[in-house]
């Protein structure tokens, strides 16, 4: 029951709902809601804009397409998928959220997310901070030298870039080399202590992908492919996304 209306998820009254069901394996279980509220209880965005995952799903099921595709709540969802994790029926509400975001005209989407996506598209690093490959390499080399000198137990630690044949291709949130370069070292130390064979790529090293959060499929693919192709060119066995 929502706003005095009885909901029947089996009717497929929502054009938006049918579109998403067609995209998902087995319809994303969208017609299996038990209205238990587990998704809302675990969602960090519950209550914002008067919305929560369960209400959002029910509105879609009722055919309230205009409301579903215009509520700013979809931009507050972190896409963490906690709702799927706690749902006894494994309903894919994040896919509903993603498609709702995609329905917004690009110029109307949040400026911060859009600006970060567009910045990442303009450099070979894939960095939302606009950090060029050579600048990243400079910071890595500088911090590595500092660590070796100040901490003798890590005197032989490496932080390779473009090492061919490494087992792990590692990426990095691009805010860290720009604003918190010392935050690079804990990961290096862990990899060093366990004896991991790893490398950064000079291209596609940035871990974040704001184009995904913008629901821009073409740009999302571009950023992801840039990293994947660099990992493949280096013949790395495992792509390890630190995000």
In sequence order, what are the residues at sequence separation of 6 or more whose Cβ sits closer than 8 angstroms to the Cβ of residue 152?
none
pLDDT digits (tens, 9 = 90+) for 174-200: 999 999 999 999 999 999 999 999 999
Quickly name the fold that domain 9-104 has: Fumarate Reductase Iron-sulfur Protein; Chain B, domain 2 (1.10.1060)
Instruction: For the chain, give every domain's residue range.
Output: 9-104, 111-240
- Residue 61 is predicted with a pLDDT of 87
pLDDT digits (tens, 9 = 90+) for 133-164: 999 999 999 999 999 999 999 999 999 999 99
52 SS3 class:
coil
pTM of the predicted model as reported, rounded to 2 decimal places: 0.84
- Residue 62 is predicted with a pLDDT of 87
In sequence order, what are the residues at sequence separation of 6 or more whose Cβ sits closer than 8 angstroms to the Cβ of residue 150?
none
Count how many residues are written for the chain. 243
- By mean pLDDT, which of 1-10, 12-21, 219-228 is the weakest? 1-10
Q: Answer left, alpha or beta for residue 27, where phi above 0 means left and psi between -120 and 50 means alpha.
A: left
Structure tokens at 88: 């006894």
Residue 185, number of CB atoms within 10 A of its CB = 19
């Amino acid at each position: 029951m929502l706003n005095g209306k009885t909901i029947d998820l089996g009717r497929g009254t929502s054009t938006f709902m049918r579109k998403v069901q067609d995209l998902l394996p087995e319809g994303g279980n969208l017609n299996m809601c038990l209205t238990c509220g587990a998704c809302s209880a675990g969602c960090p965005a519950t209550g914002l804009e008067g919305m929560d995952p369960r209400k959002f799903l029910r509105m879609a099921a009722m055919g309230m397409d205009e409301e579903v595709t215009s509520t700013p709540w979809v931009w507050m969802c972190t896409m963490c998928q906690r709702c799927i994790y706690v749902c006894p029926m494994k309903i894919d509400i994040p896919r509903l959220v993603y498609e709702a975001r995609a329905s917004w005209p690009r110029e109307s989407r949040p400026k911060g997310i859009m600006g970060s996506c567009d910045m990442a598209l303009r450099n070979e690093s894939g960095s939302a901070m606009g950090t060029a490959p050579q600048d990243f390499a400079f910071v890595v080399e500088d911090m590595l030298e500092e660590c070796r000198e100040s901490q003798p137990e890590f005197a032989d630690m490496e932080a390779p870039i473009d090492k061919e044949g490494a087992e792990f291709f590692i990426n990095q949130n691009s805010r860290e080399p720009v604003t918190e370069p010392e935050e690079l070292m804990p990961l290096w130390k862990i990899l060093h202590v366990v004896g991991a064979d790893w490398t950064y790529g000079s291209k596609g090293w940035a871990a974040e992908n704001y184009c995904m959060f913008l629901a821009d499929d073409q740009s999302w693919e571009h950023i992801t492919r840039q990293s994947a192709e660099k990992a493949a060119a280096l013949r790395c066995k495992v792509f390890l996304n630190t995000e």
